[in-house]
Amino acid sequence: MIEEIWLCPPLAVARLGSSPTICDNFEWGPTDRGPGGTGKTTLRALDSLELDANANPSVKPATGEVVFKDRDNNGTWHFRPVCPYFELHGRWTIDGQSDSGPITKGLLAALGIDLSTVTWRVRLANLKAYQFTLSEGDKLECFEEIRGDTHSRVPLALGAPHGPEEQRLLREGASIPIGAVQVARPIDELPELRLRFYAPEGLVYGPSNLLQRIQEHPTPGEWTGFDLPGRLILNPGARWPNYRFQEPIGPPFIPQDGRKTPSGIHAQFPQSNISLGLVDDVSDGIIECTVSGLTAVSRIAVGPPDFAPDRRHLTSIQDGLADRVDRAGVRNVDLAELDDLVRDLFERALETSDAMNKDAELDRLHRTDQQPSDRLPRSTGERDELPINTIWPTRDENAPTAHRADALPVSSLGQRKHRRYTALEYLRDRLREDPQLISAWIRTPLDENQRFDRRMPPLMRGSHGGPMNITRRQYEMLQRWVEGLRQQGVV
């Protein structure tokens, strides 16, 4: 009998792409740490698993290069979508012998289970509009149930099943395509039970009266001439196309929360808080597989293309999950392993820093921050660092020579400093000079001072709209590393 089942991976991220070719498999390779290297992550191509028109799987050998975009006959570039698999694993007992691993068609046959009794379920939703309006009619959802012996590709589409008909964002008969799924056909060479998720193109949809609203708006700005041919299908009478940002939601009147409804993720008319009512084809949800009364559950999230796949983020999904379920894990790690973890964190800091235009972010901060940190003047010949609680000056203020000479002075300065810190020898030297370097220059998690300053990471906003910080687990890791160096007399 089968005693337990689960899906691998437990969480997958699909990525939008309008190219007909699916992105090949790849992984992060070693960091380029040579004397003339970049100090950043490299990419390494891997064998890929493909499905033909009849859902027969086959292995495509790695070619040595990873291609992320294709150019069509008109010269337009299209991202290749990332389309993950979900593979069923389990634990079972046959003739008194226990085993675990992938669930295969042969194993099901040995247990007297027919493939047709296996059921896959896909539950997806796009709740961006609902997050703002809290109107049931703005909930967009999709549900599909597929038998284990059905191998045709099943298209997925969002509908609006809740609320009064006149308030639903999608009227009856209208839907938004959000990709497809396909159950792989188990064959002798690849007998495992798998389901593949095909990401959508990355399209945007609008209300049927959008062009009229743009034409009638007194300051349409960049929306002049904007059109979505064939995709103006949303109900203009729903709450979302008539929503005004920064206003209480009601009734009941609930104030906006920047952690739940961050700015910059929605389309609105310039110099106003009026929503255009646009919706994209991203979604997230749950993948389920049921066998013999047991159900395995995994999660799927659909996001934009990875514009910098060889640039790792300072705080990843994995870091966030580890902070919630294994924060104490770094308390029992020896100094050698802490060395590797700290080096990895500072390498990611370099890669994150190089993936952003810090000067543009600084300009945005000066334009939008309501309570900027003190910006102390600095003479041209001064070489010392500005105090921690300050932010870099603008070009119009008393800036150093570099700000007047470099095109991107803050970005250039950040690259030089972050690259040095990827060498632990340099970081140890800095700790000998300044034992409070880490505690002073790295922003503490849940810091009460929510003003932007030069503490790391600077110029980046968290989901709450305030300065971003690393996780508590990462911060404790750094503190324990410094304490370990002190105990050994290194610093």
Q: Tens digits of per-residue pLDDT, 367-418?
A: 776 454 544 444 333 434 556 778 887 766 655 565 566 778 888 888 888 8
Does residue 202 contact residue 16 with C-beta atoms inside 8 Å?
yes
Band (pLDDT 50/70/90 cuts) for residue 250 is: low
Q: Tens digits of per-residue pLDDT, 59-92?
A: 999 988 899 999 999 999 999 999 999 999 999 9
State residue 363's pLDDT score. 85
Helix (H) or strand (E) holding 198: strand 194-198
Mean pLDDT for all residues in the chain: 88
Please state the pTM of the whole predicted model.
0.89
Q: Tens digits of per-residue pLDDT, 170-206?
A: 999 999 999 999 999 999 999 999 999 999 999 999 9
State residue 381's pLDDT score. 38
- Of the candidate ranges 53-57, 372-376, 472-476, the one whose mean pLDDT is the lowest: 372-376
Mean pLDDT of 420-437: 91
Q: Which two tokens stand for residue 394?
A: 């603008």
Q: How far apart are CA 418 and CA 465, in angstroms?
A: 24
Could you tell me if residue 368 is left (phi over 0), alpha (psi between -120 and 50 degrees) or otherwise beta?
A: alpha
State residue 392's pLDDT score. 80
Q: Which two tokens stand for residue 328?
A: 């104490």
Q: Which two tokens stand for residue 95?
A: 């003739």
What SS3 state is found at 413? helix
State residue 359's pLDDT score. 87
Q: What angle do CA 119, 122, 126 make, to 5 degrees?
A: 170
Helix (H) or strand (E) holding 341: helix 335-354
168 has a pLDDT exceeding 90: yes
- Residue 12: what residue type? A
State residue 315's pLDDT score. 93
Higher model confidence: residue 406 or residue 106? 106
Q: How far apart are CA 148 and CA 296, in angstroms?
A: 14
What SS3 state is found at 31? strand
Band (pLDDT 50/70/90 cuts) for residue 52 is: very high
Q: Which two tokens stand for residue 402?
A: 């570099």
State residue 377's pLDDT score. 43
Does residue 233 contact residue 208 with C-beta atoms inside 8 Å?
yes
Q: How far apart are CA 491 and CA 483, in angstroms?
A: 9
State residue 376's pLDDT score. 44
Longest dimension (CA), the chain: 82
Q: Which residues pair with 59 in a beta bridge?
A: 49
Q: Which two tokens stand for residue 477?
A: 């890791």
- Residue 165: what residue type? E
256 has a pLDDT exceeding 50: yes
Q: How far apart are CA 181 and CA 154, in angstroms?
A: 5
Band (pLDDT 50/70/90 cuts) for residue 491 is: confident
State residue 365's pLDDT score. 83
Question: Which candidate, 272, 277, 279, places its Cα nearest to that of 242?
Answer: 277
- Of the candidate ranges 119-123, 258-262, 423-427, the one whose mean pLDDT is the lowest: 258-262
217, 247, 399, 409 from 254: Cα distances, Å: 28, 9, 43, 43
Does residue 119 contact residue 148 with C-beta atoms inside 8 Å?
yes
